[in-house]
């Protein structure tokens, strides 16, 4: 992938650097905060080679890149030197949401940047399980204890990481936020509260305000609420402090006001909310048993699509911190990841498109081995639609099996083949076999289901290379004096190509030709030849004549956005056609009502293979009237 080229196109298509307030990235997505999302051409972004999809969540414009996201992010920063700080100006348009939806979106958006640190720590915990099992590491030795500290650090001090991320989300001072988190985790505070709780006493602030006992290590929601309130405390402190005292009095007031609010009100409230959220999730599990795990596995890809999967991290953390394991969400997530990989593997095996085979194969490897599913989800299964069904079937099958045999997860490393160790119970020898069988069953069922259901191969479509087909041999130059005359495939008004309201066509980027404004919704074959590509959406047709002229007929501007609506192909890719045969019908009036320009470019896409391509007609033309000459 040409990262610099991809970055340049993405930046241009999101409205340029002047439209970007801030930019961060997670494991697979670029997360833009834009001044005005309405000016972004979503379809142009999606068509960019290297882009797997677009999501709009929590005030962010998210572009799914996959495993190469860090490289594209680096190139974008070269172009715009974007700050990771919180935006000073909110986007112009805000989506109206319910309280629950807003809370979940906020948690998910704050958790996303923290995930790499959590995964790093979780993988250390996986090693601490694996190495003693194979006799490499002594659990009583100093090395084990040091590695245990390394693996547990990010979890114990989770509120500090969350405070940093939340400060960017809410636009507060990062160091104030981290300080509040550190106060909540201070050893003396923990000791004070623990001792009072054990003695049945209540700690009181100022002698009469009770401080509710709560444990904040491993927690998420309490510090999010604290940092959210911090922005108001900062404004209050700034307002009430005289100018000459702001340098020392304002910081003191911020901490002095915010810390009691966090410890007395918002911290305990957040702990309660976290427990309620966890109780609701596990109530479902308790009611449905192992069936709930199968259902979660089946719907989990759609949770990822909504960008809500990170919102489950606090719930998983809380359950592991309380019981030592998690036996619901983590199992469903594992099966979902394996199913996405297996479905992508089936696509890689069955697809006849060499480029797409590589995309599907690498996406399958990423999902199966590393547990990173977004390349598979957005680049393969969701894109082809039918493989998504195969993946869901496989995930449900695996989830039911794992749930029935009471699988447990003892870490939150990304669920994948390489992290299978986190599903091993020390006193249950069969647990490794159960985990392995869960993975195998999921993969086999998803693979077979995808192969049986099938799918329709598609071609990546970049707006500078609409056909995006494998390179074809150039047509042999015509003998001197010989001409090939191309007829109009449509009845209507013929106009010069440079009058088309799309630079890709009007500037001749795709080749020379002409354009027709249709009078009726019918496209006929302008010569004897073959249909090279009938686009899945029906809006464009690529043909090759028996003389070697490659022709693109593109009905309307941006009509790919209609996703096939109002287009009715009469021929398919690979069909041989005779001049005058109807190859496509479309509802001209409905397309116009939908707000689309129906001007239809007729382009000789292999223009460079000939000495000249020129238009011969203007004004009214009928089907099969001559409009182009190729020399």
Catalytic site positions: 26
Q: Do 20 and 365 form a contact (C-beta atoms < 8 A)?
A: no
Long-range Cβ contacts of 146-154 (<8 Å, 24+ apart): 150/121, 150/124, 151/121, 151/122, 151/124, 151/125, 151/127, 152/121, 152/125, 153/121, 154/117, 154/118, 154/120, 154/121
Helix (H, G, I), strand (E, B) or coil at 348: helix
Listed in sequence order, the DSSP H helices in 41-141 are 42-47, 69-80, 99-111, 115-133
Structure tokens that stand for 118 in this block: 């959590």
C-alpha–C-alpha distance, residues 416 and 27, integer Å: 15
Beta bridge partners of 628: 486, 615
Residue with tokens 């409009």: 627
**Terminal Cα distance for the chain, rounded:** 37
Helix axes 313-323, 99-111, angle to 10 degrees: 80
Local structure of residue 379 (DSSP, 8 states): I
Q: Provide the 3-class DSSP secondary structure of residue 157.
A: coil
Radius of gyration of the CA atoms of the chain, in A: 30
CA–CA distance, 357 with 348 (Å, rounded to integer): 4
**Does residue 305 contact residue 361 with C-beta atoms inside 8 Å?**
no
What the block records as the tokens of 194 is 């623990």
Contact 443, 341 (CB under 8 A): yes
To the nearest 10 degrees (0 to 180), the angle between helices 99-111 and 158-170 is 110
């Amino acid at each position: 992938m040409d990262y610099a080229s991809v970055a340049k196109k993405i930046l241009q298509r999101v409205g340029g650097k002047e439209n970007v307030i801030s930019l961060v990235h997670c494991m697979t997505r670029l997360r833009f905060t834009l001044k005005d999302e309405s000016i972004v051409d979503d379809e142009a972004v999606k068509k960019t080679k290297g882009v797997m999809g677009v999501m709009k969540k929590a005030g962010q414009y998210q572009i799914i890149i996959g495993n190469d996201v860090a490289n594209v992010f680096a190139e974008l920063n070269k172009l715009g030197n974007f700050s990771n700080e919180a935006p000073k100006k909110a986007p112009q348009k805000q989506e109206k949401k319910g309280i629950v939806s807003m809370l979940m979106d906020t948690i998910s958006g704050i958790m996303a940047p923290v995930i790499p640190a959590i995964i790093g720590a979780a993988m250390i915990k996986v090693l601490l399980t694996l190495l003693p099992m194979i006799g490499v590491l002594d659990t009583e030795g100093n090395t084990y204890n040091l590695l245990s500290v390394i693996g547990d650090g990010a979890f114990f001090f989770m509120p500090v990481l969350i405070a940093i991320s939340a400060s960017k989300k809410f636009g507060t001072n990062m160091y104030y936020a981290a300080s509040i988190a550190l106060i909540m985790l201070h050893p003396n505070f923990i000791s004070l509260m623990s001792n009072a709780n054990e003695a049945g006493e209540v700690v009181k602030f100022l002698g009469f305000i009770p401080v509710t006992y709560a444990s904040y290590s491993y927690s998420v929601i309490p510090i999010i609420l604290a940092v959210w309130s911090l922005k108001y405390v900062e404004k209050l402190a700034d307002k009430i402090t005289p100018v000459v005292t702001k340098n020392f009095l304002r910081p003191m007031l911020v901490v002095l006001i915010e810390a009691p609010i966090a410890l007395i009100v918002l911290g305990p409230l957040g702990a309660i909310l976290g427990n309620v959220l966890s109780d609701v999730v596990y109530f479902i599990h308790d009611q449905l048993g192992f069936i709930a795990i199968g259902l979660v596995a089946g719907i989990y890809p759609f949770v990822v699509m909504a960008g809500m999967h990170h919102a489950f991290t606090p719930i998983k953390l809380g359950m592991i911190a309380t019981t030592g394991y998690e036996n619901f969400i983590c199992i469903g997530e594992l099966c979902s990841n394996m199913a996405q990989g297996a479905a992508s593997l089936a696509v890689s095996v069955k697809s006849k498109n060499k480029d797409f085979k590589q995309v599907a194969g690498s996406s399958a490897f990423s999902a199966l081995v590393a547990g990173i599913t977004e390349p598979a989800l957005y680049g393969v299964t969701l894109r082809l639609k039918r493989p998504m069904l195969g993946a869901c079937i496989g995930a449900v099958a695996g989830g039911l099996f794992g749930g029935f045999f009471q699988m447990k997860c003892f870490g939150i490393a990304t669920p994948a083949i390489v992290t299978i160790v986190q599903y091993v119970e020390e006193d249950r020898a069969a647990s490794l076999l159960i985990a392995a069988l869960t993975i195998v069953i999921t993969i086999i069922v998803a693979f077979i289901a995808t192969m049986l259901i099938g799918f329709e191969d598609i071609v990546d479509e970049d707006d500078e290379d609409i056909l995006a087909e494998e390179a074809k041999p150039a047509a042999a130059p015509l003998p001197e004096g010989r001409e090939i005359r191309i007829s109009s495939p449509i009845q209507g008004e013929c106009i010069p190509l440079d009058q088309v309201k799309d630079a890709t066509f009007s500037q001749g980027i795709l080749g020379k030709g002409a354009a027709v404004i249709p009078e009726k919704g019918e496209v006929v074959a302008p010569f004897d030849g073959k249909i090279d590509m009938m686009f899945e959406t029906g809006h464009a047709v690529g043909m090759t004549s028996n003389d070697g002229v490659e022709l693109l007929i593109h009905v309307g501007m941006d009509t790919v956005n209609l996703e096939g609506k109002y287009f009715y192909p009469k021929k398919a890719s690979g069909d041989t056609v005779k001049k005058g045969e109807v190859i496509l019908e479309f509802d001209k009036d409905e397309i116009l009502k939908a707000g689309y320009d129906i001007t239809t470019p007729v382009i000789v896409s292999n223009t460079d293979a000939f000495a000249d391509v020129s238009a011969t007609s203007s004004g009214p033309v009928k089907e099969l009237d001559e409009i182009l000459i190729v020399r």
